[in-house]
Amino acid sequence: MLPPVDDEPDGQPRWEARAAVPPPAARPATGYEYYEEPAPPPDDRNWLKPLLFGVIGLVLLIVLLTGVWLIFTADDEPPAPEASAPPTATAPATVATTAPPAATSAPPTTAEPETVKVPDDLIGIDEAEARQKLADAGLRVQVTRREDATMAPGTVIEVQPGPGSDVEPNSVVRIVVASAPKPSASRSQDNDGDG
- The answer, yes or no, to whether residue 195 has pLDDT greater than 70, is no
In this prediction, residue 138 carries a pLDDT of: 87
Mean pLDDT of the chain: 74
* Average confidence (pLDDT) over 137-153: 87
- The answer, yes or no, to whether residue 189 has pLDDT greater than 80, is no
- The answer, yes or no, to whether residue 91 has pLDDT greater than 50, is no
- The answer, yes or no, to whether residue 60 has pLDDT greater than 90, is yes
Q: How far, CA to CA in Å, does 194 sit from each of 88, 182, 191?
A: 48, 20, 5
* Confidence label for 50 from pLDDT (cuts 50, 70 and 90): confident
**Percent of the chain predicted with pLDDT > 90:** 11
Predicted TM-score of the model (pTM): 0.38
pLDDT tens-digit series, residues 111-139 = 555 888 888 888 889 989 989 988 888 88
